[in-house]
Structure 1
């Protein structure tokens, strides 16, 4: 018998924290474990590796399409209900993956998982934001993402270990009961919250337009290298993306109750945080992808051994969540993001100049710290520069950018490696990509601080010091909330 829903604010906060932390931990393990399991899936299901890649593509497709919808559903109809539905879908999808008799079943179950994750992630951030007071909110979010990042750390290790041991299905058998535990805790303890100014209406036309646009873009990017970037299917999907995206923007400008209030993008700190977080996540995905190829293709490591090497940077990613929570009350959000970019960019470039294990692993870890701080703190920072009432919407938009642009970066990296390897050794191609990515992140950090300085001079955002006097004015571009 389930305990009654908690009435104590302290118990509600604790329950919300635990439920969300366990849920995001499961999602992160799921995402990072399956990459190393693809060869094992292909062998067991008797399909090609290219066909088995659909288990990743289908998941990315579903996740990317439902971040915005899930976040707004929570704001309008209540975050608790959307969180419960998302957890139930993710748990059911995990069981379906574990029991799948063939590739089609597995891909379908992965889509169910992806929809669940698309609901869970944005409302989880909003649940914690609304459960904790201003003075402890950033620390709670940082700790949540720290725990989630432990899943990132363990993902490659779990994926490689299960694939070489009892089999890839045990990845999902592990996730199913953990997700069910999160569901039970959320059912018992998570309080409900929503945007009190939003009527209980959803812009269904906007939902359809954005889902079609994101689905077409994600599918084009994920399969473009296999089909050919000039193939009719790829070009057709890009055309659908442009048309649906244009219709979505037109709809949001005229809808009475839009899915996304486009005035959100007038909030300059939010735009800077979202942009820097997106670039950091692109760098994270590319670095993990390139390092995987390097460790297994050049160094000749097994999936399990490569997963062990990944523990060093992944553990620093886990540390980045609590670190962001500690920095939050002391440094402005955009400054933290720029600092993360500086660490990440130098780490990516330095990684190309070292080969000795005694130096490669700590530099890889340094790189993981910067990249991890960049993409994890972005979710914390957005909650500091927007109203808690619209936390789900802001989080959904951020996560959509993170996932969609991350997929584009991976596709670009894969295409660049394919283009360069006939003329040079693979490791040279890997180095060129990491140096380019590191330079982009460093340049983005400079731009963020430059724009921020200009806004400070114009009196639109406060100085870097959290203790500097600042008039109580909120003109839509203010950074940090009282």
Structure 2
């Protein structure tokens, strides 16, 4: 009995340690990207480059992350989640130091690519680590807690980035991330257990990896730089063409490969498809809202970077609560219903922000909007683990995260282009408001459409509960 009790305590401790390690790693990744958004002008000034050139610190990171999510998730399933997670955290921590010490823009961009590669390993593997470490009855709660902590990093990013940019300097963003990442690595070394898809062969579809990385790299780069180069520029069109060709080759390869990187039978799971689409639309709204809120606060309302970041504190609390709230709702509502509810909150919040002329209205509406957006994109990862088997958790998570990140980047590029064309005619404030209204309407429509599709399929007996 004593041995059994000791084993149970050890198991509980290991699970708690794994949760802390994964949550802290994701917190660092989320904080990193959203903090650096407000630091671009400071980076440009210190390194003597244009703001457009400094933007490559974001583009390079997004490029690495978007390209490697699928590969990272599948590597965890095949080679073991523990070693892949440790490698990802280690890369991210080392690259953070490299970013802090970078003497010029070139070295900073290289370090950001390494950071992005580490993040691409950590994110999907963290999800599968928790999915496999916790029993089914506690899995949603654990994932909700993990994403709740990660979401604090997302929402606090602008505050940290603005504070350091106006204070000791943008390099301190990375000096903060380095020890936090190192602490996550030490905890992971001690507590994270290993797991893998035992039914899968121990080999990687290298041609598939090359094809999907090429396709996503070309697409992400075209989207990120299209507005700067021009959408009809030869470089932009060439990259889109490369993305289409490489994507087609990837699909052909995966359909004929004996051991594919992505098993396309995954998409026969309609619940998975609905969750992926709804989560992707919500993440597009999340990226656009954070971007527009930053511009509104500084360019329209005239706040400094640090004061703009302070406005994000109340929404940060709601975004942090979104993970636990989603876990609680998952035991009481179907996954698509939770995401539709979140979409209704997010959509009305985005539209409400476009009419928020005074602070007493702006702050509560922004907080309401953040709750819906945070719940929607967070619950996409939680719901994914509910509709696929734990053995394929990494693969499914990689696919979902790739969709979320890639479509989020496309949404930002589209919004930047729209604002550029609208501002001369309407002014920046009206351009921001119009984009928020359209975005809110799209999220509301997609949520309603997803529920309608699920209802029709349920009536035909084609979708299991979820």
Greater shift after overlay, 357-366 or 150-159?
Answer: 150-159
Q: 2:324 aligns with which of 318, 322, 325?
A: 322
Pick one of 420, 433, 436 that aligns with 2:435: 433
Residue 291 of structure 1 and its aligned partner are, at CA, apart by 1.2
Q: Matched residue of 2:302: which SS?
A: coil
In the aligned structure 1, how far is the partner of 2:220 from the partner of 2:356? 34
Distance across 1 between alignment mates of 2:51 and 2:388: 43
215-224 vs 351-360, which moves further: 351-360
* Unpaired runs of at least 5, structure 2: 1-7
1:95 aligns with 2:105: no
Cα distance in 2 between the residues matched to 1:25 and 1:422: 38
How far apart, CA to CA, are the structure 1 residues paired with 2:166 and 2:451? 46
Report the CA distance between 1:153 and its aligned residue.
2.1
Q: Could you tell me how far 1:460 is from its partner in structure 2? A: 2.8
Give deviations 1:380-403, integer Å, cap 9, x for gaps: 000000000000000000000000
The one-character-per-residue Cα deviations of 1:142-179 (angstroms, maximum 9, x if unpaired) are 00000111111221111011111111111101101111
For 2:128, which of 108, 126, 149 is the aligned residue?
126
Distance (Å, rounded) in 2 between the aligned partners of 1:299 and 1:287: 16
The answer to whether residue 436 in structure 2 is matched with residue 443 in structure 1 is no
Deviation per CA, 1:280-338, whole angstroms, max 9, x where unpaired?
A: 00001111111111111111110000000111222211111110011111111111111
Cα separation, 2, equivalents of 1:191 and 1:68: 22
Name the counterpart of 1:248: 250
Aligned twin of 1:222: 224
CA distance in 1: counterparts of 2:168 and 2:231, whole angstroms: 38
Shift of 1:8: 2.6
Match of 1:453 in 2: 455
Tell me how far apart the structure 1 counterparts of residues 276 and 447 of structure 2 sit (CA, whole Å): 12
For residues 179 and 296 of structure 2, what CA distance do their matches in structure 1 show?
Answer: 34
> How far is the alpha carbon of 1:479 from its aligned partner?
4.4
User: SS of 2:145's equivalent?
Assistant: helix
Mapped partners of 2:9, 2:308: distance in 1? 47
1:37 maps to 39
Q: Secondary structure at the match of 1:127?
A: helix
The equivalent residue for 1:467 is none
| 1-structure distance, mates of 2:149, 2:101 | 28
The CA deviation string for residues 33-73 of structure 1, in whole angstroms up to 9 with x for no partner, is 00001111011101111100000000000000110000000
Q: Distance in 2 between matches of 1:366 and 1:200?
A: 46
Q: Which runs of 5+ in 1 are unaligned?
A: 1-5, 462-477
Counterparts of 1:332 and 1:186, CA distance in 2: 32
- State the Cα distance separating 1:419 from its structure 2 match: 0.7
Query: Partners in 1 of 2:235 and 2:19 — Cα distance?
Result: 44
CA RMSD of aligned residues (A): 1.2
For the Cα contact (< 8 Å) 1:384–1:479, is it kept in 2?
no
C-alpha contact (below 8 Å) 1:80/1:190 kept by paired residues: yes
Provide the rounded CA distance (Å) in 2 between the counterparts of 1:454 and 1:192. 41
Match of 1:369 in 2: 371
Partner of 1:3: none
In structure 2, the residue matched to 1:149 is 151
- Secondary structure (helix, strand or coil) at the match of 1:307 reads helix
Q: Higher helix proportion, which one?
A: 2
Instruction: Count the aligned residue pairs.
Output: 460
TM-score (norm 1): 0.94
Q: How does 1:10-21 map to 2 (within 5 A)?
A: 10-21=12-23
Distance in structure 2 (CA, Å) of the matches to 1:155 and 1:290:
15
Match of 1:196 among 195, 198, 211: 198
Q: Post-superposition shift, 1:7?
A: 9.3
Asked if structure 2 preserves the Cα contact closer than 8 Å seen for 1:216 and 1:241, the reply is yes
Which of 73, 84, 98 does residue 82 from structure 1 map onto?
Answer: 84
Partner of 1:111: 113
SS in 1 for 2:424: coil
- 3-state secondary structure, aligned to 2:303: coil
Q: Distance in 1 between the 2:129 and 2:211 partners?
A: 27
The match for 1:137 is: 139
Q: In structure 2, what is the Cα distance between the partners aligned to 1:446 and 1:21?
A: 32
